[in-house]
A = this chain, B = another copy of it.
């Protein structure tokens, strides 16, 4: 009987290996595209790239047909009275997501009233929610995270907000929440930032973090798509997301017994359900002296993400070239905007091979033992780039020489992104909004 089950597993592996083995050289414009397990796709193998694909994956994003969207032109603004304005905290005290600005954006959705209502900017205030709201019981909720940067020219820029909007709509579709026109939300968001523009730090180590959130508000206990929802945006001036060691690197802990995401789940969508279940594991890692969790998957202990970031490795590949690698978008990985931007930018650097590929812990250890592993780092909007110098895994205490490189890739990536974000160079990724 066990052998029979084992054979079934092997059969399953063969039938599904394309999901895990998509190793291909990126061609930049398609790098964000993902093997999509959408509602209409009952035969995933028809759209997944074969294991040895050398051509780019087809554009398999589901077509989002947005609800009749709210419009920026309908935006109603109520400014805070002078007595309602909050004192601005010192930049050194910002932390991550502790302070909030004076205004917020709200857009209600009521199916019975024709769907999306008029967007409103109002003074920042608490939400008034029915205690049976589906967002509080069934995690009918999703969010985005992006930032507004005050540039060297004092202009305020957003970084590829269209990608956040695309991802937010995909998450809405997956959650039974209403979709919308992302361009309209970017316009509303930009207006909100303009109003609170003095909250965008005058500093290149701090930014204004933007948190669009969409929650199901229908107050009934049925586990189904809500008839009412609330989209809101709040803004928070932030500095660093979390503590590091003295040299700025983090130590991470890989526990093969816990799983962040799984095939057929929601690991590739930015929904609340991906985060709450990680808290206990992260706290356990912290007790062991690590900063974040390295999330593994499957019997081979493939690396997938680190903390709430995408993960990258730099190593000398079998051809002797320096290679930047990150796990492919196989349904388990959040399609990060920073991740995509790094892949696109680095693929233009002649001295670096760039690949999306499966990396197992055994491979990491082997490369490290041979002195071929040069760097590991996390990448995401909140932290930007977070170099990793240590990995705890089973009985291994793996030291990664990330901070010992003379010209590390992580620093080059970080400098390039910061230069775009803070307007040191003109680049189509950055959009001036004020």
Interface of A with B (CB < 8 Å)? 1-2, 5-6, 8-14, 17, 20-21, 37, 39, 42, 44, 51, 95-98, 100, 104, 124, 126-132, 134-141, 143, 173-176, 209, 211, 213, 215, 219-225, 232, 234, 236, 238, 241-242, 255, 257-259, 262-266, 271-280, 282-284, 298-300, 307-308, 382
Contact = CB atoms under 8 A, between A and B. Distances in A.
B280 A138 contact: no
B128 A280 contact: no
Nearest to A138: B275
A382 B234 CA distance: 37
B39 A284 contact: yes
B10 A276 contact: no
A240 B331 CA distance: 36
A97 B222 contact: yes
A128 B126 contact: yes
Given A129-B126, A213-B131, A176 B223 contact: no
A129 B126 CA distance: 5
A263 B262 CA distance: 9
10 contacts: A44-B257, A97-B221, A137-B141, A140-B279, A175-B279, A211-B221, A223-B282, A262-B265, A272-B272, A273-B276
A258 B39 CA distance: 10
A261 B21 CA distance: 23
Given A9-B299, A232-B131, A96 B222 contact: yes
A214 B182 CA distance: 33
A51 B3 CA distance: 13
A313 to B, nearest CB: 19
A224 B280 CA distance: 8
Given A132-B97, A263-B259, A209 B223 contact: no
Nearest to A394: B42
Contacts of A100: 131-132, 219
Contact of A280 (B175, B232, B272): B175
A32 to B, nearest CB: 22
Contact of A136 (B17, B37, B135, B278): B135
